[in-house]
Homo-oligomer: A and B are copies of this chain.
């Protein structure tokens, strides 16, 4: 299941329940992902991580779908199977179509390829690209 197990709503102390409630309200769902139930044994990390993700994933100059696709691009590159599974669902909920998913993966694939070519060929940064 998870290293410290899952902390279910019914068994959670008030400070965990408060985070669970905020997750369900913010995301308009009655489901708490395993990720949160696994973190909940450490209420401080649960709260900090949730507050950070809530802030970062809120609509800004980037829309929620774009943000979810970036999340999925990173999770894919890191090879995190849990994160790929959960953020694929989240991106779809934010509106990602099959065609958008396929284009996203095509970009992720090419970026990973060209990253290694640049590294392996020891390409010096162009003068005009330096900060």
**A1 CA to B83 CA, complexed, in Å:** 16
Which A45-99 residues have C-beta < 8 A from chain B? 45, 48-49, 52-53, 55-57, 60-62, 66-67, 69-86, 88-89, 97-99
Q: Which of B85, B107, B116, B130 contacts A108 (CB 8 A)?
A: B116
Contacts of A102 in B (CB 8 A): 4, 41-42, 45
The interface on chain A, measured as residues whose beta carbon lies within 8 A of the other chain's beta carbons, has a size of 81
Known: A3-B131, A131-B3. A75 touches B124 (CB 8 A): no
CB distance from A50 to the nearest CB of B (A): 10
Contacts of A100 in B (CB 8 A): 61-62
Report copies per complex.
6
Contact: B107 with A57, CB < 8 Å? yes
**A124 CA to B6 CA, complexed, in Å:** 10
**A80 CA to B113 CA, complexed, in Å:** 11
Residue of B nearest to A97 (CB): B61
